[in-house]
Amino acid sequence: MIYFGENICGDFTKATEKEWLETNGLGGYASSTIINVNTRGYHGLLVSALKPPLQRVLTLSKVEDTIIFNGKRYELSCNQYQNAIYPEGHKYLSSFRIDQYPTFRYKVENLFIEKSIFMAYGKNTVFIVYRLIDAPSPVVIELRPLIACRDFHARMHEWLNPNINAQYGIDSISVDMINIKLSLLLNGGKFDYQPYWYRNFEYAIEAQRCQEAYEDLYSPGYFTRELNLGDEFALIASTDDQYAFDLESIRSQEISRRVTLTENKLLESLPSNFRNCVSCLLVSADQFIVNQDDHPSIIAGYHWFGDWGRDTMISLPGLTLVTGRHDIAKSILENYAKYCDQGMIPNCFAESDGQPLYNSVDASLWFIYAIKKYLDYTDDLTFIELGLFDTIKNIIRYYREGTRYNIHADKDGLIYAGDKGTQLTWMDAKVGEIVATPRYGKAVEVNALWYNALMTVSDIYKRLGDDSFAERYLDLSNEVKESFNKLFWNEKAKCLYDCVYDDHFDDSIRPNQIFAISLPYQLIDGKKAESVLNVVHRELLTPFGLRSLSPKDKKYKSQYVGDQYSRDMAYHQGTVWAWLLGHFITAYVKVNGDNEETTVFIKTVFDIFIHEHLDDAGVGTVSEIFDGDSPHHPRGCISQAWSVAERLRSFFEYNFNSQKD
């Protein structure tokens, strides 16, 4: 359980730095800060995925809740406007906790009332539940919904004159606004139609990011209901049929589902603080697994990412394999194989129409990595042979002979890709025509992945009993290994070049070289591996991940702040990436071995995470990125798939192997 008391809840600045997230398995979500001040345009109580996991619309932004008690009105909600905070309901908030779902406890005089929020799994529906815990007499609660009904990237304004059609009954209302329908129901309550626009809500984080930071929200009226001691009821908001949901049955199902997520034998042997941390990550891991046309997919991050090929394959081991959800991993791999085109799997799917986009050199190689990990965990060779091996061989053939974006194997066997105007690796920020981190040519991690792909094919052929082809691919792998060690070794810095193109050797100290050690098949070993690990440790390691560039580099950016241009130019120029920590841990174990020092190191990494990030930013999950300089403020998405996945993968693999040994 994550818990905050009055000292945090009553502090507006501290409280608005902590955000909660509920998801529905479709790509939809509910999210805000722990005092329900929306600081982002992406915050809302119901964001629905109309074409899961894409075409997301923010329907219900928030609910203004007021308690009427002893003839007085007490407003529990809280909003930020320009130069004003009104009302100040956070002053009544005595605690916030996440046990199974976000729960808020308010104290008004000698009255205590709780509010909890959860979503129905597989439905675009949210339950906002109120329970009167203690009161000397009945109270009346008034709930006024504030509605946006717009694309979740956009903003609503009264001056847009949206076409609004409202139909209401005794205890419900349906609002059709710019062809987006939202229904609300309060069983046992009463609805009063009183339409009104609330203007100029300020979203502080959007203002910091130089994005559109102001919005108007429409309220069709308000609900009222009387509560006696112990009474509980739910305001149900849905883009489905709100009458189809029963509070008790849906809540019971959802609690049982979440409890199942943390049933892992390895947890039993962990200290209590580690057990709580890993349990949080296991629940968080589930939030990224979504349904897409009746098959599972992985969403890259909340609030704004969709399902990205590269992120999916990097995340798949930590989200599905170490958690024992092998059938989900199998289905995801099968589905991406269907989209393979000219040896490339999609980098992402367009938010508007779901069409696959092919603009990544490494996504297909990470796909083969994910298959290798799946085989390691399941030993399901038959599935690989019959379901995926043709796709793997297709990828290898196109990468050797050539495919989009000048991706091809050079005469030395190494993969060359792109030109000055392309951004094909994971360091892919581009501002207009400016590539923020140009890495065309032969990128170090791409060729580490290429070597691993060839070795994986060789291993599969060997396991299938085809020694001839196994040897052929082993020879290709050895050629790549020899060329790699000759080309990428930077003798002066005692580490690896980041990228080589034409006669240019990029000696920037970046984290990409760690993959030459951390991937299943090492490209470098011995003193070279030890030296690379030491350089990365010294220059790039932070408590939350690896910097994307050494602070000693003149291109280094210490903070990820400012407008879109400033942020994109800093994205891979020093910004800390949380997901890289998993591969650093794996490399650390490979180089230093399984010993007491390694165990202390891994425990230290998780101790810092538990005490300094688990209850910060997106509480109970892991942010996308952090500032390069201390105090390493969390930035970007509040919950990122590969950030969570790589902590789980590296932690579970190390602990499992240690126990097995």
Give the integer Cα–Cα distance in Å for 67 and 645: 42
Give the integer Cα–Cα distance in Å for 111 and 108: 5
Given a contact cutoff of 8 angstroms between Cβ atoms, the answer to whether 200 and 82 are in contact is: yes
Q: Specify the amino acid at residue 337.
A: A
What global pTM score does this model have? 0.95
- Write the CA distances from 574 to 440, 608, 630, integer angstroms: 19, 20, 12
What is the Rg, in whole angstroms, of the alpha carbon atoms belonging to the chain? Answer: 26
The token pair that represents 318 in the structure block: 């930590």
E-strand stretches of 228-312: 232-238, 289-292, 295-298, 301-302
HEC-encoded secondary structure of 123-176: CCEEEEEEEEEECCCCEEEEEEEEEEEEECCCCCCHHHCCCEEEEECCCEEEEE
pLDDT of residue 189: 96
The token pair that represents 399 in the structure block: 């990468």
Give the integer Cα–Cα distance in Å for 396 and 457: 9
CA 590, 592, 597 angle in degrees (round to 5)?
A: 130
Residue 648 CA from chain centroid, whole number: 14
pLDDT of residue 270: 73
Given a contact cutoff of 8 angstroms between Cβ atoms, the answer to whether 614 and 638 are in contact is: no
Q: Specify the amino acid at residue 12.
A: F
Scanning 489-579, the segments in alpha helix (DSSP H) are 515-518, 526-540, 564-570
Given a contact cutoff of 8 angstroms between Cβ atoms, the answer to whether 428 and 435 are in contact is: no
CA 567, 568, 574 angle in degrees (round to 5)?
A: 75
Closest CA to 498 of 451, 535, 465, 461: 535
DSSP state of 51: E
Closest CA to 298 of 310, 255, 55: 310
pLDDT of residue 656: 59
User: Nearest 5°: phi and psi at 276?
Assistant: -65, -45
For residue 571, give the H/E element and its range.
none
Share of the chain above pLDDT 70, in %: 98
The DSSP code sequence of 88-103 is EGGGGEEEEEESSSEE
Given a contact cutoff of 8 angstroms between Cβ atoms, the answer to whether 47 and 58 are in contact is: yes
pLDDT of residue 432: 84
pLDDT of residue 267: 78
Q: Which residue has the tokens 């209850």?
A: 615
The token pair that represents 212 in the structure block: 């559109």
Provide CB contacts within 8 A for 660, sequence distance 6+. Answer: none
Closest CA to 310 of 254, 229, 366, 357: 366
What residue ranges of the chain have pLDDT lower than 50?
A: 660-661
Given a contact cutoff of 8 angstroms between Cβ atoms, the answer to whether 560 and 624 are in contact is: no
Which residues does residue 430 pair with via DSSP β-bridges, in sequence order? Answer: 435
pLDDT of residue 657: 56
